[in-house]
Every structure is written in structure tokens, then in C-alpha cells.
Structure 1
Amino acid sequence: MTRAAESIGIGQPAMSSALARLRRLFDDPLLVRHGRVLELTPMGQALLEPVHDILAGLEHLLTITPAFDPDNDTRSFTIAASDYVTLVLLRPLLEELYRKAPGIRVNVVPVNLATPVAIERAQIDLAVVPRQTMTSRMPHIQHRELFTEEYVPVVWKENREIGDVLDREAIERLSYVRYHDDNSAPALIDAQLAALGIEPRVALTTLSFALVPLLLPGTQFLGFVQRRLLRQTHLRRDLRILTTPIPIDPIVEHMYWHPVMHSDPAHHWLRERIAALASNI
């Protein structure tokens, strides 16, 4: 109780009085002693998430201004995105910010299993992730579809172990370059292959989507790559795109944000810039 009081700048007696008022309000002890520590009751646990959302909204309220001038205002935004999204979407955004909003700063953080929770708690401004990987079931979370992408199988142009068609046998025979991160869900392509009962022979694992096409030249490896990554000239020159009869669902990238940020003029301006860029990539 003493440390909790110190963390918000009040005395221990005031904290004890506040806890007593909350206990009367909710008709629940909220905290009960277990040995030398206090533990939350089920009611106390149930209050954690809604109280966190309320505090996040109040904190955000203090940063909202009645208007936003991109030429002069300063603001820092945190966006969760994969390295693939950073390259194809956020890099053009940074170019636009440099020209039109020089005071705006963007902090890109990696997508991981905690990203949906970070959106639910307004701990980040935006997340750009595939619809298929957004695990949050909170109905109030705002979202907007940005673009659709597809995985294509690729090999080095000099690969002699396969022709132009990739079938099930070839996937399981060729050495496979896989994206994998213990802190994230499996790549959508790997989840789809697993659902079809296809087990590639993994030869190399990388933490980066964007590295997969760079690791293929000079090898007999196979990789699945987002098509937009192949628009870079040197990659098109070094790689060969295969066709496949295996059904592979497209990736649908969405932008997600907490509703407390929905009406913020600066946040709205940034969302519109991202959506406009996504329509032209």
C-alpha cells in the first residue's frame, strides 16, 4: 500500500482511504491478504482491463489538440508492423512525412503475440497486420482494410532442381527458407501449408520476412515471398517466380487502432495518409 501510494504521489493513509471507498462502492474486498502480500480478488481481476482502458483514454485526452497543422505540429506515433509492411508501406510514408509533416516522428515496433493486447490497451497508436492474425475479439477496436497481398513461391533463377511448377512433392523435397519468430504467430503461408498437411523440409530459418528473397540467390532453396517485395529490380533479376496448383489464400492487411484515438485530428490525419499510400502501392 505504501509503494502504491508513492507511485501516484499521495500518502499511505490517503491510499488506504481510497481503497476503503472502492471496497464500499463495489461491495467487494478487492484485495485480500495472502501471507505477507495482498492479492486481487476475482472482482479486482475483472476491473483491471476496463480500468486500464479508462486510464489510457484519459492519458490520450491530454494529448489531443483541437486542430492539427502538419506543417508545424510535432507528434510521435508508435506503429506495430512487420519488416515487410515497413518496407512497402511505411517507408513511403516516411518520405511523405519528410515533405509534408517534418515535425512528426514515427516509432515502428515489431509485431508479436502481444500486439492485439497493446491495441486493446491503447499502448500503441496503430497496428498494420493481416486480418487473419488479429486475435483481439474486442468489438470496439477500430480497423480499416488497406490492401491485399499474395505469397508467391520463388527460387534462384539458376535453380535446376525444379521447373516452373511447384507441386506438393516439390515443396516437401526442396530445401525451404522459413520465417519464424517464437514471439510471433507462424507465417500465414506456413499455417496454410500445415493445414493442408504439407511439411516443407526446412533448411534455414530467419526472423525477417524481407530477408527470405535475399537468401535464395546462389542456392537451390525455395521460399514463399510477398509479391510486392519482388518489385525491387535486383530481386526480379535474381529470382524466378513459380506457379503452383496449391491453393494459397491472400493476405489482407488491416490497420487497427483503439477508439480513444479515433477523433484525434493528428491520428486521423496519419491514418488517412497511410490509407492513401496503401491504395497506390
Structure 2
Amino acid sequence: MNISTFDLNLLRVLDALLRERNVSRAAEHLALSQPAVSNALGRLRDLLDDPLLVRVGRAMQPTPRALELEAPIRAALRQIEESLSEGSRFDPARSRQRFTIALTDYAEMLLMPRLLARLAELAPGIRIDVRHLSPRLPAEALEKGEIDLALGRFEALPPRFVGRRWMSETLQLVARRDHPQLREGLSLDGFLRLRHLWVHGGQTRGMVEQWLGEHGLSREIVYTTPNYLQAAHIAAGGDLVAVLPTRLARYFAGLLPLKLFDLPFELGPFHLEIVSLDLRSRDTPLQWLIEQIQALDQA
């Protein structure tokens, strides 16, 4: 294909169609008429020799070729936009940006009250949307621009992403205060005999399982949940125990009938990162937001 004869405006139309999966909504997003968007889609189909979006019932579904193009086209459009706006100064106080962040309920509780207070003072027009962090890095959503940042513990990042240190944390075991198996404290044998609930916290394998596996040991996990906050309430109301981040464990020990125990083996701290797409390293508003998040744990 000869790029010199390709109408680059068509890429904006394709991006909108892939976001909306609907001609009318894409037209509204682009401030164009519906016939204009339909005509652009017809031209794209001819140029790329692919139907791109096909009607399935009432919805339009992208073809494999369209899905293959979605992330690189969106990244290219974003890079062009950032390059063209480099000369315009980002003013947090006047910004109306909207950011989407993926994180666990624990990280949300730890971060958002302080971040929202900071934004209310410095950038009251900025809006934050939160998505729950799945057990894996939401790479596709980050590449498509559906998520701006992911905050969590990630084993290894693909080269196209950048991770910045957010905070460090340790783990403790929480159990109800009168737990019958913990009257004499917590030993390794006692830990293994307990019935556990596990909070995956955006992970497919936790630090405890990794340590136990390396030492040929295992524990009985009878309940798994993605929710840290619910885990504390379950532990307080029954005989299941949970290994939770220390800050969260201490917080709930002040609210619920819980007792905290140091783990009977050495794990050391773990680190939470702020992850974004490397292509957005020159996105001034996003970098400003990252700096605000990092500053909260340095104050």
C-alpha cells in the first residue's frame, strides 16, 4: 500500500468504529454524519481488502484483521496527538482529563482517598474511573487505551510497558481473636494445619505458594476471592485465616475482632508498580498523574 495516497483521516474513523462497534455512535464521537462514516468504512474495506466490521445480530464485530490493526492504529494516533500538542502547556488546574486505572480493592482503599484529595486541590477537573485488576496485567486494554494505568504486583513486564515503583509492602496472617488453633501462637506446622482463604490480588500465584512450593510444602486453601476487603470480614467471622498486606491487616485489626501474626517464614517485602504503555512516556497529563501518585508515598 502506498501511504502517500492513503487518507489518514480514515484511521480516525476506523479507531472510532473499533471503539464503539456502532456506526451511529462512531459518527457522534467524530462529529460526522452517519453516511459519512459509512462511506469511510466502505473506503477502508476496499483499501484494506477486508470487511473490518461485520454485523452479528444488532452488533458489529471486528474481523481478525481489524483486531490486529486496532492497537497499533490507536497508538499511532495517540503519538501524533501528543507530538502536535507538545507546544501547549498542560495546566492541571484547568484540565478536564479523564483517566482509567486498574487496581485491586486494597490498592484503591490505600490510594484513592489521598489521591482524590490531592486532585481536588491541584486539578479539580480531572476525573478518575477505576477498573478491578484481573489476575493478569491488562495488556490489551492498556494498548487499546481503554486503561491508562495499572497498579499492582507484576512478575515481569513485556518490553512495551514501563513500570515505576509505587510502594513496598509486607504480609501478615489475620485470624479471629479467639481462633482455637492459634492460642499458643503461630508455628510453621500450625500455619500448614490452618484452613486458608486466598486473595489472588491480581496474581495467578502468590508469594506464600511460591515459598511453600520451593520447600516442598502446601497449605489447604478452601476459598479464593479477588477481594481483600471482604477477606478480612470473612476471617473475623469464622475459622478461616487470610494472609493480607500488613497495612490492610492493621487497618482492619482496629475495626474487627482480628488478631495479627507474623508469618512463620521469611518472605521479605513485595513491591507494587505503576504500569503504563511505553508509547505514552511523553503523554504529559498521564506522566503528571503518575508523579502525583508517587509523591503521595514520599510525603
Q: TM-score, normalised by structure 2?
A: 0.70
From 120, 125, 145, the equivalent of 2:148 is 125
CA gap 1:14/1:204 in 2 versus in 1, 3 angstroms: closer
Q: SS where residue 142 of structure 2 aligns?
A: helix
Runs of 4+ deviating beyond 6 Å: 11-14, 29-32, 59-65
Percent of residue pairs bearing the same amino acid type: 22
Gaps of 5+ in 1: 23-28, 33-37
Letter in 1 for 2:204: P
Which residue does the alignment assign to 2:179? 159
Superposition pairs of residues 1-281 of structure 1, within 5 angstroms:
10=36, 18=44, 21-22=47-48, 47=69, 49-58=71-80, 66-112=88-134, 113=136, 115-132=138-155, 136-137=157-158, 139-162=159-182, 163-167=184-188, 169-180=189-200, 185-186=203-204, 188-189=206-207, 191-192=209-210, 195-196=213-214, 197-232=216-251, 234-235=253-254, 238-280=257-299
Q: Assess if the C-alpha contact under 8 Å between 2:82 and 2:282 holds in 1.
A: no
Gaps of 5+ in 2: 1-16, 28-33, 53-61
Which residue does the alignment assign to 1:26? none
CA gap 1:65/1:270 in 2 versus in 1, 3 angstroms: farther
CA gap 1:71/1:141 in 2 versus in 1, 3 angstroms: same
Q: Assess if the C-alpha contact under 8 Å between 2:171 and 2:263 holds in 1.
A: no
1:109 and 1:233 map into 2 onto residues whose CA distance is: 23
CA gap 1:192/1:235 in 2 versus in 1, 3 angstroms: farther
Q: SS where residue 53 of structure 1 aligns?
A: helix
Q: SS where residue 93 of structure 2 aligns?
A: coil
In terms of fraction of residues, the more helix-rich structure is 2
Quote how far apart the aligned CAs of 1:190 are.
5.2
* Aligned length, in residue pairs: 260
Quote how far apart the aligned CAs of 1:228 are.
1.0
- Alpha-carbon RMSD across the aligned residues, in angstroms, is 3.7
Q: Assess if the C-alpha contact under 8 Å between 1:179 and 1:209 holds in 2.
A: yes
Q: Assess if the C-alpha contact under 8 Å between 2:249 and 2:260 holds in 1.
A: no
